[in-house]
A and B are shown apart, each in its own frame.
Chain A
Amino acid sequence: MKTYYNPDDLKKFSKIGEFQKPLADKFFSYYGDVFKEGALTEREKSLIALAVSHAVQCPYCIDAYTVDTLEKGCDEEEMMEAVHVAAAIRGGATLVHGVQMMNKTKEVSM
């Protein structure tokens, strides 16, 4: 069955430089640096990545960062709380636009 998303494609991500190597090399070098221990731990960064993966709804990222958070010693409770942070921000982002709707309603109403 043909689908837009194929789990095996995740393994091919590192080959993305086939069509444009210099930019891919820069991206992967940057990517590697981002996830290194810094002011935030690798574990904290992995949980942020898991939350963002859900916010951007990337199935490849969700698979990758579910395993990565487990391999950083996170448990299911922590992982689900991270997903709820993403959900709260996405939900909040929708809802806060309600203010714009209210403003406009008031602007055009008698």
Chain B
Amino acid sequence: MKSLHKQKNKFSDIAYQLAVLNDGVKGQSLPSFSQKLEVTGLYPLKPTSIDIFQINMGKMCNQVCSHCHVDAGPDREEIMTKQTLAHCLNAIKTSQIKTVDLTGGAPEMNPHFRWFVEEAFKLGCKVMVRCNLTILVANKKYRDLPEFYKKNKVEIVSSLPHYSSKKTDSQRGDGVFDRSIRALKMLNEVGYGVSGSGLILNLVYNPSGAFLPPSQDGLEKQFKRKLKKDFDIEFNSLFAITNIPISRYLEYLVASDNYLGYMEKLVNSYNPIAAEGVMCRNTISIGWEGYLYDCDFNQMLEMKVDVEKERQHVSQFDVSTLEKRRILVNEHCFGCTAGAGSSCGGETV
């Protein structure tokens, strides 16, 4: 399967996505996200602090998932350079941000990935990697990654949308479930997810369709029971994440005629408590070219942080400027405020 970008699909065009999003909310006479924030006294949305430095190391990935908001895949060649990564290290050092969250694509496919992880670890940071699991078994050169992660005390966050192969493969591609199980066993073998090891392995659930995620606690128990019983696999926590209506997931919603119903559901499930805790308030997102964004979703919609132009790049990173900024919002933001809320760390309520 090719990325939307490669197919030249209209949903790879950001202006088109924004027009569809506008039509799905204002076009249906539903209140806009800004209006909802205003009613709950949160507009303009402001940061609380910057605790998490989330780097999208590139759009290249060994998988082509049907819901991917990055439109990542093997045909995407956008990769963060070593120079930009060096700017990131400098920004982390000067700002004293202690959590570094690496995402992609498959961040491990960036040729400077290991160097960067080691350097961030030397700075005393907690490094999190959003590992798609199958990368560990994709090629011999990745087989030692569990040991590498262990050595650098990396916290692993991995998507596994379901404990059944049917649901996982329908979202992430044929054979992904079996390869993910093999990768989870490799991680368990070195101690990841095993009680008392101190090595954290968290899983991420997101719905395989046009509906909201279940309650995180109940689902975590179910995943733990099933994965232990069927595969003898252990993990720490499960994060339940809502699919955000952009890129491939937006294309799926429209093509399957679920789009308007889904947007209506998101708007009607707006939770002001979840809005207070959205991740963009304590996270800064860095794109493969080094530009700064309020979150990975705004990054994909090319909505750069609302600060003066010269401060929009990581080479000019300035925490005090960023902490005073206004967070940019649009209708896709309803995905983070529905129900129990959603963030890269799961529920927010």
Contacts and interface: CB of A to CB of B under 8 A. Distances in A.
Interface of A: 41-43, 67, 70-73, 75-76
B167 A72 contact: no
Contact of A70 (B164, B166, B207, B222): B207
B209 interface: yes
B196 interface: no
A73 B212 contact: no
A71 B222 contact: no
Contact of A71 (B164, B166, B212): B212
Contacts of B164: 75
10 contacts: A41-B218, A42-B218, A70-B207, A70-B211, A71-B211, A72-B218, A73-B215, A73-B219, A73-B222, A75-B164
B211 A72 contact: no
Contacts of B215: 42, 72-73
Interface of B: 162, 164, 166-167, 207, 209, 211-215, 218-219, 222
A102 B237 CA distance: 59
Contacts, number: 26
A75 B214 contact: no
B139 to A, nearest CB: 32
A73 B214 contact: yes
Contacts of B214: 43, 71-73
Nearest to A72: B214
A70 B209 contact: yes
Nearest to B240: A73
B211 A75 contact: no
Contacts of A41: 218
Given A70-B209, A71-B213, A71-B214, 14 more contacts: A41-B218, A42-B218, A43-B214, A43-B218, A67-B211, A70-B211, A71-B207, A72-B214, A72-B215, A73-B214, A73-B222, A75-B162, A75-B164, A76-B166
Interface of A is mostly: helix
B255 to A, nearest CB: 19
Contacts of A73: 214-215, 218-219, 222
B211 to A, nearest CB: 5
A42 B214 CA distance: 10
Contact of A75 (B167, B212, B213, B218): B167
Contacts of A67: 211
Contacts of B167: 75
Contacts of A43: 214, 218
Contacts of A75: 162, 164, 167
A41 B214 CA distance: 13
A50 to B, nearest CB: 14
Nearest to B339: A71
Nearest to B226: A75
A73 to B, nearest CB: 4
A76 B165 CA distance: 12
A70 B209 CA distance: 9
Nearest to B222: A73
A76 B218 CA distance: 18
- A-B pairs with the 7 shortest C-beta distances? A73-B214, A73-B219, A70-B211, A72-B214, A71-B212, A71-B211, A67-B211
A76 B167 CA distance: 9
Nearest to B208: A70
A72 B222 CA distance: 11
